[in-house]
Chain A
Amino acid sequence: MTTAHPSLSPDEIERLKAPARRERIYRIFSYFSPLLLLLLWEVAAQVALIDRRFFPPPSAIAGTAWQMIASLELFDHIGATLRRVWVGYAMGAIPGVLLGLILGLSAPARRVLGPIFAALYPVPKIAILPLILLIFGVGDASKFVVIAIGVFFLMFYNTLGGVMQIPQIYLDVARNAGATKFQTFRRVALPSALPSIFTGLKLAAGSSFIIIAAAEFLGARSGGVGFFIWASWQTFAVSRMFVGIVVISAMGYLTILALEALERHLVPWAKH
């Protein structure tokens, strides 16, 4: 505001800086706009504009959350859910990336196997959950599998897309330098597809938490945040249900943040 410039008038400087200042105000507002929704919710619940039985005010939910944190009640559920997500995620992501790389680099494999994956991809994962429960039982195995299936397709298609976009020149360089097929795969295709792989990892992390919540609804008795949400709803403990929803969303969000940090570390060139 007090910046001076020898050849510009204060008015000119003012006009020059206006857009940046507007941008700053928007940004500050963007941090708080979700809170505005909570505030609206709080007021609406307090003046009984909405039914407190289904939408308890955020202050009440926060109170419930605090009690649950203090009593360590939720942590077993969080642990169970996290373990299922990470095992299922790894089971889906590793084959997804490998097959994406193979089909991306090999046109014959892509022609023959591509349509199979394309046909299987749109099958709703939750719809085949009863089948998976039948095969793998109601324990953790079925949850690993349903997450792995969801993660697999996202990783497969993102990796494939990444490999297909590798500039031909990189492959030419590898070939001219005498790279074997495996070296091309490991030293050129994988790093080149890494930005797309990370896009897949982030998408898959979000989906994993959506899928695990639904899977835990069905697999009762086994714990987990999804189970907790469902059990709270069935006993009409709506505040507790909301705590569960917030917790599982936060788990997904934090996982994506962690992946973004890892991406900045491993793929520093993609941002330039």
Chain B
Amino acid sequence: MNVAVPQEGRTSGSAEAASVIEVRNLVKAFYDASGDRITLAATDVNFTVRRGEFVCIVGPSGCGKTTVLRILAGLEQLLSGEVRIDSMTQPAMVFQEASVFPWLTVSQNVAFPLSLKGVSAQKQRERVAELLALTGLTEFADAHPHQLSGGMKQRVSVARALVDDRDILLMDEPFGALDEQTRLTLQQELLRIWERTGKTVVFITHSVDEALTLADRVLVMSPRPGTMVADLSVPFERPRDVVEMRRDKRFWDLTYEVWRLLAAAPEH
């Protein structure tokens, strides 16, 4: 049921046709001029994501998973390789830390991408109201971020990333800094939102547990310089109950499998 498929083997025609993100032989390095030192962040990264799929990338910290995501978001340049994104819109990103603007209210933060595009105030209000309802923030519409808890702030980030309705959602450990209970709540809500909106999601996490809770497929990365070492499909039916699925033996088998892969991943 859970087979580690080497990335190179996945070249079946049908998967290619439906893929919305395609990364081939991606290499990314950083050059530190003061120390004349080159750091290889990711090497020979290959993967594809199908339309509407929820994919998690897990890997140890510093393995370059965030870098890969930032390249997909257009925030970094790749050194070599190829990234193809089949979408009319740039992917929207939900960032790791609190990235909401402290000088704007919750609704203004959510409306930010719309306001940049010159959407009419009336349309902005309607769309923001929809998203505040979707993310459970309606009663905090006029609050400032410093009045919110960490979990609430990340809800704002998610709402902001969804507001202009782009096809692809990139999430960089969005719940990493939250306590376990809040994280579970937000995971459940993210699943509900994803099921409703049908977005393609690439979700970065260092938590095996989180990856299995959310994803259709889990991509496992090696330590730096990161490369894909496995591609596991997660068999749980949708919609998922983030608490109930922990009673399923398959959840723990898969957890073991991913940990085995992470432990065995070769140091480069």
Contacts and interface: CB of A to CB of B under 8 A. Distances in A.
The residue in B73, B112, B117, B145 that gathers the most chain A C-beta atoms within 10 A of its C-beta is B112
State the majority secondary structure of interface residues on B.
loop
B146 A176 contact: no
Given A268-B144, A272-B146, A173 B102 contact: no
B155 to A, nearest CB: 15
Given A269-B144, A269-B146, A176 B103 contact: no
B74 A175 contact: yes
Interface in B61-76: 70, 73-75
B137 to A, nearest CB: 17
Interface residues of B, number: 24
A177 interface: yes
A191 B105 CA distance: 13
The residue in B75, B93, B103, B113 that gathers the most chain A C-beta atoms within 10 A of its C-beta is B103
Interface in A179-198: 179-180, 183, 187-188, 191-192, 194
Interface in A107-136: none
Contacts of A194: 103
B95 A169 contact: yes
Contacts of B102: 269
Nearest to B93: A176
B101 interface: yes
Contacts of A170: 99, 101
Contacts, number: 55
Interface string B136-150: 000000001110000
Given A169-B97, A269-B146, A177 B75 contact: no
B116 interface: yes
Contacts of B101: 170, 173, 188, 191-192
The residue in A175, A177, A180 that gathers the most chain B C-beta atoms within 10 A of its C-beta is A177
B92 interface: yes
A177 B74 contact: no
Nearest to A178: B116
Contact of B99 (A172, A178, A269, A272): A172
Interface string A244-272: 00000000000000000000000111001
A183 B114 CA distance: 12
The residue in B70, B93, B102, B160 that gathers the most chain A C-beta atoms within 10 A of its C-beta is B102
B144 A177 contact: no
Contacts of B2: none
Given A183-B116, A269-B144, A269-B146, A175 B75 contact: yes
Contacts of B96: 169
A163 to B, nearest CB: 14
A179 B70 CA distance: 17
10 contacts: A169-B97, A172-B93, A173-B93, A175-B75, A176-B74, A176-B92, A178-B90, A178-B116, A194-B103, A269-B103
Interface of B: 70, 73-75, 90, 92-93, 95-97, 99, 101-103, 112-113, 115-117, 144-146, 160, 164
Given A169-B99, A188-B101, A191-B103, 14 more contacts: A170-B101, A172-B93, A172-B99, A173-B95, A175-B74, A176-B93, A177-B112, A177-B160, A178-B90, A178-B117, A183-B116, A192-B101, A192-B103, A267-B103
Interface of A: 169-170, 172-173, 175-180, 183, 187-188, 191-192, 194, 267-269, 272
Q: Which 9 interchain pairs have the tightest Cβ spacing?
A: A177-B113, A272-B146, A191-B103, A269-B102, A176-B93, A169-B99, A173-B99, A179-B116, A183-B116
